[in-house]
Amino acid sequence: MWHDILSFAKEAIGPAAGWGTCYYATEPLDNPDYEKFADAFYDVFGVVPQLTTAAAMRKPERTKAYLEKAQGQFRRVHRFSVLSRDILHRIYDCFTLDELVPVELLSQFDEAPASHFAKAGRAREGKVKTVPEASGNTFIPGLRI
């Protein structure tokens, strides 16, 4: 089904559809099959979908494997949302500079010199709190490759 959806998108939109992602408003690494979805995306478009994750350090070996495979297929900038100074230091300890070349580190914590959180909606009213990366997930089972 996923291949059919991607093939239809490619037919309807054209090669520009290859600049899409395999998720929307969720954490992609919450899905235990994310790499399978990304592989299907590559099969159809010949490019690896951009990964933006706040869970890069949940299973760093998984993140490293994804980046390594992605860089061997097609160069694209991926992004880590960095939720705390501690996570930033863990990223620096875990990844080499060469491994981080294709990764934007998006500072998403108050102490960061360039925090990118927008104060809008519920966040403006102080009702939204940043949650630790290890808490919960957004994965809903159902869609299969």
pLDDT for the residue 140: 45
Per DSSP, 66 falls in state H
Torsion, CA 20, CA 118, CA 84, CA 50, rounded to 10: 10
CA distance 46 to 82: 29
As given in the structure block, the two tokens for residue 82 are 């960095």
pLDDT for the residue 54: 94
pLDDT for the residue 131: 47
> Three-state SS for 90?
helix
Adjacency order of strands within the sheet including 78-82: 52-53, 78-82, 103-107
Q: Is residue 109 part of a domain?
A: yes
Instruction: State the greatest distance between any 2 C-alpha atoms of the chain, in Å, as a whole number.
Output: 45
pLDDT for the residue 121: 60
Residue whose C-alpha is closest to residue 135's, from 66, 58, 62: 58
CB 84 within 8 A of CB 57: no
Q: Is residue 84 part of a domain?
A: yes
| pLDDT of 50 higher than 60 | yes
> Three-state SS for 31?
coil
Residue written as token pair 């390594």: 68
Question: What is this structure's pTM?
Answer: 0.74
- Regarding predicted confidence, which is higher, 107 or 122? 107
Sign of CA dihedral 45, 30, 1, 8: negative
Give per-residue pLDDT as tens, 124-134. 666 555 545 54
Q: Is residue 142 part of a domain?
A: no
Residue written as token pair 């580190």: 105
| pLDDT of 117 higher than 60 | no
Distance of CA 27 to the CA centre of its chain: 7
- Regarding predicted confidence, which is higher, 120 or 112? 112
Instruction: Provide the residue range defining the domain that includes 54.
Output: 2-124
The domain tally of the chain equals: 1
Q: Is residue 101 part of a domain?
A: yes
| pLDDT of 104 higher than 70 | yes
Give per-residue pLDDT as tens, 56-102. 999 999 999 999 888 876 678 899 999 999 999 999 999 999 999 99
Q: Is residue 14 part of a domain?
A: yes
